[in-house]
């Protein structure tokens, strides 16, 4: 899981980064709202930790913008702030933040909140299996089943399907798919993604199921929640 920290105080970024990385999260950071929006567009994280007090655009404004955008409406956001008053908390939640942590907070408290929000956003991921619509992916046995029938997928299609299902409902660009499935340092042509999507679709739809992978023209693909 990738978390984007949006915070202008370097010491705070380092503290957060240290705690999140030791829990196994991938961490990136942005110093202000503009950098944050660019980073989110380039590689959408699984969650944003958003400081309220930022130069230029405030955290509240960034959160509001994310909620108004069709692509990032569902992106999990936890607001972090020095302001602990009830009215601020309500304002943060009003603009669509999923949760709110006031400084100073303990790393354990923040991690618990992060996990709770991620669980809420990914209710279908439970330990060893992911189920979305009528598709179940078994991460241990490496099996995929649709409406009770086993499907036969190649290793790349399996990874691709897992990547999609863990981000169901979100539009993913070819670049995000390339990075997530093939890795950052591998040179693969965009066309390769399309070839594997075609194979994955063929396998998923082999028993006349509805097509769960939506093509978003000029952008990429989305695994529908059903």
Contact footprint for Ca ion (CB under 5 A): 8, 51, 53
Name the minimum Å distance from CB 111 to Ca ion.
20
**Beta carbon nearer to Ca ion, 53 or 93:** 53
In contact, 4 and 30? CB cutoff 8 Å: yes
Beta bridge partners of 222: 171, 214
Name the minimum Å distance from CB 8 to Ca ion.
5
Name the minimum Å distance from CB 198 to Ca ion.
46
Name the minimum Å distance from CB 93 to Ca ion.
19
**Beta carbon nearer to Ca ion, 7 or 99:** 7
Alpha-carbon span 225 to 106, nearest angstrom: 35
In contact, 169 and 222? CB cutoff 8 Å: yes
At 72 the three-state DSSP class reads coil
Kindly give the pairing relationship between strand 99-102 and strand 77-81: parallel
Name the minimum Å distance from CB 88 to Ca ion.
14
**Beta carbon nearer to Ca ion, 30 or 118:** 30
**Beta carbon nearer to Ca ion, 53 or 171:** 53
**Beta carbon nearer to Ca ion, 103 or 143:** 103
At 30 the three-state DSSP class reads strand
**H-run or E-run covering 18:** helix 10-22
Q: Which stretches does DSSP call E strand in the chain?
A: 2-6, 26-30, 47-51, 77-81, 99-102, 125-126, 129-132, 135-138, 143-146, 149-151, 171-173, 213-216, 220-223
Name the minimum Å distance from CB 49 to Ca ion.
12
**Beta carbon nearer to Ca ion, 8 or 71:** 8
**How many residues does the structure list for the chain?**
226
Query: How would you class 108 by CB atoms within 10 Å of its CB: exposed for 0-12, middle for 13-18, buried for 19 or more?
Result: exposed
């Amino acid at each position: 899981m990738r978390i984007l920290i949006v915070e202008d105080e370097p010491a705070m970024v380092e503290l957060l980064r240290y705690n999140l990385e030791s829990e196994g999260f991938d961490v990136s950071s942005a110093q202000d709202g503009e950098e944050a929006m660019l980073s989110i567009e380039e590689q959408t994280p699984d969650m944003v930790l958003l400081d309220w007090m930022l130069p230029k655009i405030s955290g509240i404004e960034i959160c509001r913008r994310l909620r108004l955008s069709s692509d990032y409406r569902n992106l999990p956001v936890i607001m972090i702030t020095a302001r602990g008053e009830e009215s601020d908390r309500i304002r943060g939640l009003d603009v669509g933040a999923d949760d709110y942590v006031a400084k100073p907070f303990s790393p354990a408290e923040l991690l618990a909140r992060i996990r709770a929000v991620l669980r809420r956003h990914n209710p279908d991921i439970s330990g060893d299996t992911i189920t979305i619509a009528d598709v179940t992916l078994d991460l241990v046995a490496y099996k995929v089943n649709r409406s009770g029938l086993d499907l036969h997928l190649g290793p790349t299609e399996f990874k691709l399907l897992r990547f999609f299902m863990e981000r169901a409902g979100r539009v993913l660009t070819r670049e995000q798919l390339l990075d997530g499935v093939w890795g950052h340092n591998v040179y693969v042509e965009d066309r390769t993604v399309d070839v594997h999507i075609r194979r994955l679709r063929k396998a998923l739809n082999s028993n006349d199921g509805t097509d769960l992978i939506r093509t978003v023209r000029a952008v990429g693909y989305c695994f529908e929640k059903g």
